[in-house]
Structure 1
Amino acid sequence: MIPRLLADSLRQRIIDSNKIVILYGPRQVGKTTLIRELINELPYKSLQVSADELLYQTVLSARDLTRMKLLVEGYELLFIDEAQRIPDIGINLKILHDGLPKLKIVATGSSSFELANRTKEALTGRTWTYELFPISLGELHLQQNAFSLTQRLDELLRFGSYPDTLQLPNATDKVRYLRELSSAYLYKDILEMAAIRHADKLRKLLQLLSFQVGSEVSLSELGTTLGMSKDTVNTYIDLLEKAFVVFRLSGFSRNLRKEVSKMDKIYFYDLGIRNVLIDNFQPLDLRTDVGALWENFLVIERRKRNAYQGNFVNTYFWRTYTGAELDYIEESNGQLAGVEFKFSRKPSKAPASWTEHYPGSTFQVINQDNYLSFLL
């Protein structure tokens, strides 16, 4: 088993707090496995239910405390897997939590748009929320040293870091798994819950986004290509974000006239999913998109690191109309840190306009020599 960095935090929340613990994340990243392992370690008598089962959907969506009490009678902990599939899950969890304040409740969800939107108002102040990603470099580092991690770089950029992908023995099996994952799970929640009218265009949109990793994305251009409105494209991307398939990085601006901030960059939670969409698993030395892979890899791994370490930072990219740019910026406690990503080891200097307009900010180039310190 690959150890998960969230395990200790989740364990303590379950033990110390009577709030509902919610664990979000993409499908197949190990949410259920992690929670079951923790429950097995803890001394509580636990009821584990799958929200895919109609019986539990009926009881847990009834807004009837008496029925829910019958379900959990004699148990100290309730674990609801894929809780977003239960209608009106938010208000029902509120009723259950308020009616049985000593009952510990843990819920997982692979889609934040159902679980989050229907719990946000109802469960204000009643939850601890976490996000589980595909396996992080930090988690691999718990079992492997820095040398071993560098030997896996080609693999991680080609096949991503889903738990099953990492443990399959060869490239053929990895590709087969990613294709099955993509076709069976990637859009499941979106198609079932968001009433998407053009399922084929959802996949075409993802393919277009796959080719634009590291570049600013024009919603208007995407809409023209797909034959849909700019607003519909934005809605689809929003749904893909809430299903943990992609995420956006916005342009940074302090309202300087030369700064570009209207368009976003879009990255994938997992590079294996990105590569299966364009059907390209070639080794890095045969590819023309290494720069995009490298940038996506560093951005998502840094996102995992910050999330697991509890670092609350704002993240952006930066570009001016005159061509100066930085791939990545973090803002924390008023301090700006600018970063340039280079797969090659060529030196690079901070743009003059960056140091001029943002004195006191930092700058660094992240390449193959120092990326481990940036991500670990």
Structure 2
Amino acid sequence: MKYTRPQEALLKNRLGDPVHFINLLAGPRQVGKTTIIRDIVSAKPTQGYYISVDDELPVGFDPSATISPPQKKDRGWLAFHWQEARNRTAAWLKTAHSGDIFVFAIDEIQKIEDWSDIVKGLWDADRASGVPMHVVLLGSAPLLMQKGLSESLAGRYETLPVSHWGFAEMQQAFDFSLEQYIYFGGYPGSAWLIKDETRWRRYVRDSLIQPNIEKDILQMVRIKNPMLLKQLFELGCHYSGQELSLTKIIASIIEAKHTETLADYLHLLTETKLLAGLHKYAGQEVRKRNSVPKLHVFNTALMSALQDYSFAEAQADRSYWGRLVESSIGAHLLNTADEDTKLYYWREGNQEVDFVLAKGKKLAAIEVKSAPKPVVSAGLNVFAEKYPHATKILVGAGGVPLAEFLSQPADDWLD
């Protein structure tokens, strides 16, 4: 039985409402955005039109048509297909029944120059003339999309985030064990390759990491030093779960004069859901921003694919496995926290807490233990003394089982 992500049901519910907003599916590469919209459109082909900036021709387009779409993927190309979608909507209306919908979906929209201005004009024209056509935009570079959305489409869209796959999903869809999820991460496209680790590692590097860096960042953002960006990403994957100052990063990978450049690159990697730099939790916002970042991958597949450890070797090395476990928790929290929930770490002297969740006045301190026997966490107690209203959560032996923690979204642990 085919597995469908929860976001598909949510999008279907939104499309069941009258046309009010553009629906935006935004998230990293290879997490199922295209599958979600293709499932919806292919279920009733006469009620949908799907195009992709990466494809030569849209699905269902007649190549023998008198008028062909422009070859260049620009304003004219998008306007052509938008009009085609309008024409199909008009034809569909003649036979439509109550409750039926028509969906026009555009994949990889961010690759069209000035896409948001073009969409704004076409969308506003449809609203003025009452065209009952739902529009769904898909993009794999959230930062680049957000710029256009905030500048041109404010008030015209609703976002539906599509994050990396979690443990419960990989278990249900691919029968992953907890250990397999910790090591191989949550990329559905690579799941069938895990029995051949060489092929799996090559796939993650060539089909996931390289396109994220080369297409989603380097081709669409002006980067002064592409090699520095790549080295920062690779170093972050090697040091996931560890504090590393930007000054030390510079010393480790390249001679450079300005930490601001690395900070900008880390921001890009965070917005493309590859690598985050968590700040130290403190009462004052300035102290948080100025703290040494703790690097964390959004998907442990990124970490494992760039390391020399095999699955068996990683499990045998308790120190390294502990870093993988902590990174899987960090990735889970990063991917499931809502936009109002912030994720930090905490350290004071020799005492530390792996993660701190903060949302309004709610606060939760989370310590991860991968050892098979219960271990007392002094850091949690010190943190609780400093912030008495915080919830203390120990993940691992003697606390919340790892599988249970990975099966509930971040915000559940704030209640």
TM-score, normalised on structure 1? 0.86
Given candidates 202, 211, 214, the residue that maps to 2:238 is: 211
Q: Among 363, 367, 373, which residue is 2:396 paired with?
A: 367
The answer (yes or no) to whether the contact 1:318–1:328 under 8 Å persists in 2 is yes
Which structure 2 residue ranges, 5 or more long, are not aligned?
57-68, 90-101, 408-415
Between 1:335-344 and 1:255-264, the stretch displaced more is 255-264
Deviations 1:304-359 (A, max 9, x none): 3445xxx8422211112x22211111123412111101111322235343222211
Give the letter aligned to residue 227 of structure 2.
D
Greater mean deviation of Cα atoms: 170-179 or 107-116: 170-179
Change (3 A) 1:218 1:41: same
Q: Give the letter for the 1:294 counterpart.
A: V
1:257 shift after superposition? 12
Alpha carbons of structure 1 residues 167 and 312: separation in structure 2 relative to 1, 3 Å: farther
Distance change >3 Å, CA 129–CA 354, structure 1 → 2: same
Kindly state the Cα deviation for residue 82 of structure 1 after the two structures are TM-superposed.
Answer: 0.7
Does residue 1:174 correspond to 2:200, yes or no? yes
Deviation at 1:119, TM superposition (A): 1.6
Which structure 2 residues correspond to residues 240-279 of structure 1 after superposition, within 5 A? 240-255=269-284, 262-279=291-308
* 1:169 Cα offset (Å): 5.6
Cα 1:196/1:22, change in 2 over 3 Å: same
Change (3 A) 1:11 1:312: farther
Question: Which deviates the most, 198-207 or 58-67?
Answer: 58-67
Q: Which residue of 2 aligns with 1:92?
A: 118
Count of paired positions: 367
Q: What's 2:13 paired with? A: 12
The within-5 A match list for 1:32-181 is 32-41=34-43, 45-52=47-54, 55=69, 61=75, 68-69=82-83, 72-75=86-89, 76-101=102-127, 102-142=132-172, 152-168=177-193, 170-172=195-197, 173-181=199-207
Distance 1:375 1:348 in 2: 21
Contact 2:279 2:288 in 1 (8 A): no
1:299 aligns with 2:330: yes
Structure 1 runs of 4+ with >6 Å offset: 63-67, 256-260
Letter of the aligned partner of 1:223 in structure 2?
I
Deviations 1:160-183 (CA, angstroms, capped at 9, x unpaired): 221122223613332232232246
Q: 1:94 to 1:237 in 2, by over 3 A?
A: same
Give distance in 1, aligned partners of 2:285 and 2:221.
Answer: 38
* Partners of 2:368 and 2:394 within 8 A in 1: yes
Q: Find the counterpart in structure 1 of residue 251 from structure 2.
A: 224
Between the aligned residues of both structures, percent identity stands at: 24
SS at match of 1:339: strand
Measure how far apart 1:192 and its partner are. 0.7
Cα deviation for residue 62 of structure 1 reads 5.1
Preserved contact between residue 249 and residue 266 of structure 1 (Cα < 8 Å) = yes
- In structure 2, what is the equivalent of residue 318 of structure 1? 346
1:200 correspondence with 2:227: yes
Q: Which has the larger radius of gyration?
A: 2
Structure 1: runs of 5+ lacking an equivalent:
none
Instruction: Specify the alignment match of 2:217 in structure 1.
Output: 190
Partners in 2 of 1:295 and 1:271 — Cα distance? 10
Deviations 1:251-305 (A, max 9, x none): 2111499999612222112211222223433423333422221111012223434
- Specify the SS of the correspondent of 1:239: helix
C-alpha RMSD of the superposition = 3.0
C-alpha offsets along residues 122-180 of structure 1, whole Å, 9 cap, x if unaligned?
11111111222232123235458xxx65xx22222222221122223613332232232
CA contact (8 A) 2:280 2:344 kept: yes
* Partner in structure 1 of residue 268 of structure 2: 239
Alpha-carbon offset, residue 36 of structure 1 = 0.8
For the Cα contact (< 8 Å) 1:259–1:319, is it kept in 2?
A: no
Q: Residues 136 and 161 of structure 1 are in contact (CA less than 8 Å); yes or no, is this contact kept in structure 2?
A: yes
Matched-pair contact (CA < 8 Å) for 2:22–2:158: yes
Moved more, 249-258 or 358-367: 249-258
Task: Give the Cα–Cα distance (whole angstroms) in 2 for the partners of residues 22 and 68 of structure 1.
Answer: 16
The structure-2 alpha-carbon separation of the partners of 1:245 and 1:57, relative to structure 1 and needing over 3 Å to count, comes to: farther
CA distance in structure 2 between the aligned counterparts of 1:329 and 1:45, rounded to whole angstroms: 46
AA of the residue aligned to 2:124: D
Pair 1:27 & 2:29 matched = yes
The alpha-carbon distance between structure 1 residues 163 and 56, as it changes in their structure 2 partners (threshold 3 A), is farther
Please state how far the C-alpha of 1:189 moved relative to its aligned partner.
Answer: 1.6
Q: Distance in 2 between matches of 1:342 and 1:260?
A: 27
Give SS of 1:12's match: helix
Partner-residue secondary structure (3-state), 1:317: strand
Counterpart contact for 1:89–1:119, Cα < 8 Å: no
Equivalent pair of 2:333/2:343 in contact (CA under 8 Å): no
Q: Counterparts of 1:64 and 1:372 in 2: how far apart (Å)?
A: 45
Q: Secondary structure at the match of 1:186?
A: helix
* TM-score, normalised with respect to structure 2: 0.79
Counterpart of 2:95 in structure 1 is none
Q: 1:280 to 1:96 in 2, by over 3 A?
A: farther
